[in-house]
């Protein structure tokens, strides 16, 4: 008969039941920590993978379409220049 079966049947002493409950609680905590660690690692690797794919796609685009890339860079620079507020002139005396 397994420990769980004995716990369910009530054939164990109160001390053994408390010890079993403590062990189960410790196992649940350990599983929770393992799950958190794995989830964090997976999320980090997925984010890094997406970043790498984006960098790779940008590089491939620049290589395959250099003129279009230059035109887009020109447009971005012009838009940035239009959106950047002018600096106030400084008065020097």
Report the candidate in 45, 67, 69 with the shortest Cα–Cα distance to residue 57.
69
- What's the predicted TM-score (pTM) here? 0.49
**pLDDT per position as a tens digit, 54-93:** 999 999 999 999 999 999 999 999 999 999 988 877 776 5
| CB-based contacts of 6, cutoff 8 Å, min separation 6 | 12
- The DSSP secondary structure of the chain, one letter per residue, reads --HHHHHHHT-S-HHHHHHHHHHHHHHHHHHHHHHHHHHHHHHHHHHHHHHHHHHHHHHHHHHH-HHHHHHHHHHHHHHHHHHSPPPPPPP--
């Amino acid at each position: 008969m397994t420990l769980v079966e004995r716990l369910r049947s009530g054939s164990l002493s109160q001390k053994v039941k408390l010890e079993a409950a403590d062990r189960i609680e410790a196992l649940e905590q350990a599983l929770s920590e393992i799950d958190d660690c794995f989830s964090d690692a997976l999320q980090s690797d997925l984010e890094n993978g997406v970043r790498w794919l984006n960098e790779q796609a940008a590089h491939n685009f620049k290589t395959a379409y250099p003129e279009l890339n230059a035109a887009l860079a020109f447009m971005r620079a012009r838009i940035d220049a239009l959106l950047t507020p002018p600096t106030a002139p400084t008065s020097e005396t």
